[in-house]
Amino acid sequence: MSLRFKAITDLTAEAVEMKQVGATKVTAIFGENVFTLKTARQYLTDDSYKSLVSSIKGAKKIDRAVAGQVANGIKAWAEEKGVTHYTHWFQPLTGTTAEKHDSFFTLKSDGTAIEEFDGAALIQQEPDASSFPSGGLRATFEARGYTAWDPSSPPFIMEIGQGKTLCIPTIFISYTGESLDYKAPLLKALEALNNAAVDVAYYFDRNITRVTPTLGWEQEYFLVDEGLANARPDLVQCGRTVFGASPAKGQQLEDHYFGSIPERVYAFMRDFETECYKLGIPLKTRHNEVAPSQFEVAPIFEEVGVAVDHNSLMMDIMERVSRRHGLKVLMHEKPFAGINGNGKHNNWSMATDTGINLLSPGKTPKTNLMFLTFFVNTIKAVHDYADVLRSSIASAGNDHRLGANEAPPAIISVFIGKYLTKVLEDIESRVGAKFDEQDEAILKLDIHRSIPELLLDNTDRNRTSPFAFTGNKFEFRAVGSATNCASPMTVLNVIMAETLKKFKVDVEELIKGGEKKDIAIMQVIQRYIVESKSVLFEGDGYSDAWHQEAAKRGLQNIPTTPLALDAMVTDKAKALFTSNNVYTKPELEARHEIELEKYIKKVQIEARIIGDLALNHIIPAAVKYQNDLLANITGLKSAGLPASAYDSQLTIVTEISEHIQVICKKVDELVEARKVANAIEHSREKAISYNTIKDNFFDTIRYHVDKLEHLVDDDLWTLPKYREMLFLR
């Protein structure tokens, strides 16, 4: 029996035991496995507690002596919870999380066994870094790398089966200080944003001393029965199906969206949510998504750094917990053709230490001007650096989404809704007419009376925009589901920092020229609106008309990763990242190299899987069926039946032959094309070449394979079909 039928039989034979999860009140377990400040209060002395707090708040380095005390406190807490091992937890550029477990256990020189976790072990570790991607940085600099404690994210305990491990969130850098992970540059970008935003906020409120960007992500994913998934080598190796005919029923009835959650899935959700709550991940919503077997989970928003860690951690937990339930989570951007893919909306805003959301339209003219300042600066940032933003979400997986007519297009535009469009138009219409004293009326603009109502008006929502203002935050929707949020968040925060810095300079110049502060601010806002309005778009982002219109406006539309990544290493990008201390030029070039390599490898693996499946699964099944038909035809002939009795069989035999011939020919050509691509030295050219391979062969081979799926006897087909993966559970 093929794995396919075994999996189907297992499903119906109730071999899948539903794992029941007890109901627990969330507040009773929330954060119990996190070394929160509240816990720290209990386990640390006054001095070390204070020192920890100030290093969290001010992102200050903790000194060695205090680190020892903090380490002791953390160890005491962890041991009470049954922890035996610890690890530095980090997010290397491979796109997953990494850990290397060490035991607290150690031997003293006299052979006594003790448990130990000292300050040095907390602050710094040297994992064997050689197998993590470095984009050539290591060749240029130093062979070694180290992980360093990031106090802004609290230590936590990971429970795997009966084992418990203390995880210390860290950044990962080379010995000469180049960042090798997602987190280090993100922290630098957040700091750049803080500095620039505090400077600008000072115009409006001198009590603001810190601005913290916030992130609320929405993670989409598919769930497939693990048995069925294991019978699909493409799902196992690439995370997406390279073949598969559309089922009779796909998502056309739209009956899955917000429908009731299937019981087995529900058990899985409650299980992984419980694990997440223990780790302090504030999950809030769960629901069915548009496609069959597609779901979404979203937390309450948090500070960006913590939110990024929590997303990576949750992806990891989902993966592990799903196995307990006989399910496989698919985080790929496009696991199935013909139905929606997975995105990860990044809701972003900025919060002040005085408790104000800078993107929330206030009630008074003064706060409105502050809102307007940050709102328009965001639009300007996206306008000026749309290409860099686009590059931050480029991946082989996301290429299937962006540009397809179901996800935000690869063209970066901003949606702000009817009301704010009108507000910006009103301000803009004053171009030429200088703002003067009497014109201070414009500062009021009636914004304070109308904007709060807009927040309630959910109809004013455009689902096709890659970057949309949704009442009190911007929602970056073009982010792929498998992407580490740190990548888009680093870019969004640094382009905002850069734009705010320019804004300040522009305003100061006018003030020096004798302009009143508020008038100067209004004038710069007006200029920014004029300069960046080409990025504003309220219509249907999926339409062809928009593609033409965007081209006319000079907006970039780069649907493929190898070219989209160019924007990382332009002079403009280098100036942006170096002047804000986020990346050095070598770091940027290394990242570019790493992203290109990732792309090449992903497409390369898919190309191999396509060849393997075609030759080992598809053609053998087709040939067997052809033989069955031929035997049938011979039988009918020898029984003396006329040709009309086996005409149809003969037609099918011929059709199958035709498909087999094309598949074999194309697979041969694909192998040859790969050899040519592999010989290319330069990564960018190689990636472009792989993209061409994908365009030239993947869809053609798939077309013929999917035709065969419709022709060949179902009993002989070894790969689970779409209708089974998407509807059986």
**Contact residues for Mg ion (CB under 5 A)?**
345
For 237, 656, 659, the CA distances from 635, given in Å and listed in that order, are 43, 20, 25
Q: Would you say 579 and 192 are in contact if contact means Cβ atoms under 8 Å apart?
A: no
Residue nearer to ligand ADP on the CB measure, 214 or 251: 214
Residue 587 tokens, joined: 């770091």
The site that binds ligand ADP (CB under 6 A) totals a number of residues, namely 15
300 sits near ligand ADP (criterion: CB under 6 A): yes
- Which of ligand ADP, Mg ion, none binds 702 (CB below 5-8 Å, type-dependent)? none
Distance CA 285, CA 308 (A): 17
Q: Which stretch binds ligand ADP (CB under 6 A): 191-199, 344-352, 527-535, 681-689?
A: 344-352
Neighbouring residues of 363: CB distance < 8 A, sequence distance ≥ 6: 448, 452
Residue nearer to ligand ADP on the CB measure, 474 or 503: 474
Q: Which stretch binds ligand ADP (CB under 6 A): 85-93, 295-303, 553-561, 600-608?
A: 295-303
Q: Would you say 310 and 278 are in contact if contact means Cβ atoms under 8 Å apart?
A: no
Residue nearer to ligand ADP on the CB measure, 490 or 561: 490
- Which of ligand ADP, Mg ion, none binds 48 (CB below 5-8 Å, type-dependent)? none
Residue 297 CB, shortest distance to Mg ion, in Å, is 12
Residue 296 CB, shortest distance to Mg ion, in Å, is 9
In three-state secondary structure terms, 161 is coil
Among 274, 470, 481, 487, binds ligand ADP (CB under 6 A): 470
Residue 218 CB, shortest distance to ligand ADP, in Å, is 6
- Maximum pairwise Cα distance, the chain: 106
336 sits near ligand ADP (criterion: CB under 6 A): no
Q: Are strands 85-89 and 294-299 parallel, antiparallel or unpaired?
A: unpaired
Residue 284 CB, shortest distance to Mg ion, in Å, is 12
Residue 614 CB, shortest distance to ligand ADP, in Å, is 40
Q: Would you say 537 and 465 are in contact if contact means Cβ atoms under 8 Å apart?
A: yes
Q: Which stretch binds ligand ADP (CB under 6 A): 63-71, 345-353, 511-519, 589-597?
A: 345-353
Q: Find how far residue 397's CA is from the centre of its chain.
A: 11
For 43, 121, 309, the CA distances from 194, given in Å and listed in that order, are 31, 30, 19
305 sits near ligand ADP (criterion: CB under 6 A): no
Strand (E) or helix (H) holding 212: strand 211-225
218 sits near ligand ADP (criterion: CB under 6 A): yes
Per DSSP, the residues of 301-322 read -EEHHHHHHHHHHHHHHHHHHH
Distance CA 279, CA 299 (A): 13
Q: Which stretch binds ligand ADP (CB under 6 A): 43-51, 83-91, 294-302, 684-692?
A: 294-302
Residue nearer to Mg ion on the CB measure, 296 or 587: 296
Among 125, 194, 214, 378, binds ligand ADP (CB under 6 A): 214
- Which of ligand ADP, Mg ion, none binds 698 (CB below 5-8 Å, type-dependent)? none
For 650, 713, 714, the CA distances from 647, given in Å and listed in that order, are 5, 18, 21
Q: Are strands 113-115 and 467-469 parallel, antiparallel or unpaired?
A: unpaired
Neighbouring residues of 410: CB distance < 8 A, sequence distance ≥ 6: 390, 402, 403, 478, 557, 558, 559, 564
- Which of Mg ion, ligand ADP, none binds 348 (CB below 5-8 Å, type-dependent)? ligand ADP
Residue nearer to Mg ion on the CB measure, 125 or 462: 462
Q: In 3D, which of 555, 291, 526, 304 has the Cα closest to residue 424?
A: 526
Residue nearer to ligand ADP on the CB measure, 477 or 617: 477
Among 347, 398, 526, 532, binds ligand ADP (CB under 6 A): 347
Interacting residues with ligand ADP (CB under 6 A): 214-216, 218, 298-301, 347-349, 357, 470, 472-473
